Amino acid sequence: MIDGVLVEQERATISVLDRGLLYGDGLFEVLRTWNGRAVDLDAHLDRLEDSARWLRLPVDRAAIVDAVAIALDAATNAATDDHRIRIMVTRGPGGVAVPMASAGPGSTIVIVEPIGALPETTSLAIVDWPLPRRTGRGHKMLAYLDHVIAREMARERGAGDAVRLDADGKIAEGGTSNVFCVRGGEVLATDGGGVLPGVTAARVAAICRRTDIPVVVGPIAVQAFLGADEVFVTSAVRGVVPVTRIISDGEHTLPVGEVTRRIRAAYVGEMTAL
């Protein structure tokens, strides 16, 4: 779906002069369906709109909601099979010297595709590709290559995803996920500058509050992370995924612990009840 028009994949195009293509000037969100329903669409659009205000990027929320509904309705077996929904908003045509407010208009794109089988567990590699020092939260911009590079570095070391450090050498986030660890029954969550506030991570925090699992938010040292009792990652598509192996200076194996099991079961229960 491009600007409200359904287009076959092989015929989908935007201008080669779009700043989203030229400079990564735009935003995106990824979510999924569960039993045919888009999960946390409102929360993802809230995050998109917040980032759009920061980037001074026009966003038509109502048009996106309509486009998601139409694209899902047109997808094969959308009511029975799980699908990934990718929403993209581009700046539109304009050279690098053109002020943001003068560029455009951009395109709103919605892509719906089957998810397929997802792994029950994953592995992580701590990679040397840190987040730059910055204040404020991260944003899901079309300029996403840093995350892709981090994940590729992890893949080359035999891991499913990366762990990136912040500018102070503390645990920041996964290449395409938020990371958590469990020590002594407490869930530890990062709060470093530049970390993307995950929608699924927010669900996990709410589950912990509701089920009396203590959550401590703050810097996590690498050694503390490697010595954790349990580690798990969260993402909108994969949900809550236990980590059973971490690659750093060596390999560290972990069990799928009881706290992670409780959180994952509660999350799946919420999704099933939608």
With a cut of 90, say whether residue 219 has pLDDT above it: yes
Q: Which contiguous run of DSSP H or E holds residue 188? A: strand 186-189
Which tokens is 149 given? 């590079």
> Does the pLDDT at position 77 exceed 90?
no
Q: Burial level of 53, CB count in 10 A (0-12/13-18/19+)?
A: exposed
Q: Are 145 and 30 in contact (CB under 8 A)?
A: no
Which CATH number is 23's domain given? Answer: 3.30.470.10
Domain count, the chain: 2
Claim to verify: residue 79 and residue 147 sit in the same structural domain:
no
Segment 106-124, tens digit of pLDDT: 999 999 999 989 999 999 9
pLDDT category of residue 79 using cuts at 50, 70 and 90: confident
Residues 137 and 84 occupy one common structural domain: no
pLDDT digits (tens, 9 = 90+) for 11-67: 999 999 999 999 999 999 999 999 889 999 999 999 999 999 999 999 999 999 999
**Residue 20 sits in the same domain as residue 44:** yes
Q: Which domain holds residue 37?
A: 9-114
pTM comes to 0.95
Q: Which residues contact 200 (CB under 8 A, 6 or more apart)?
A: 40, 178, 234, 235, 236, 239, 240, 267
Q: What is the CATH number of the domain that holds 170?
A: 3.20.10.10
Please give the pLDDT value at position 245.
98
| pLDDT tier for residue 86 given thresholds of 50, 70 and 90 | very high
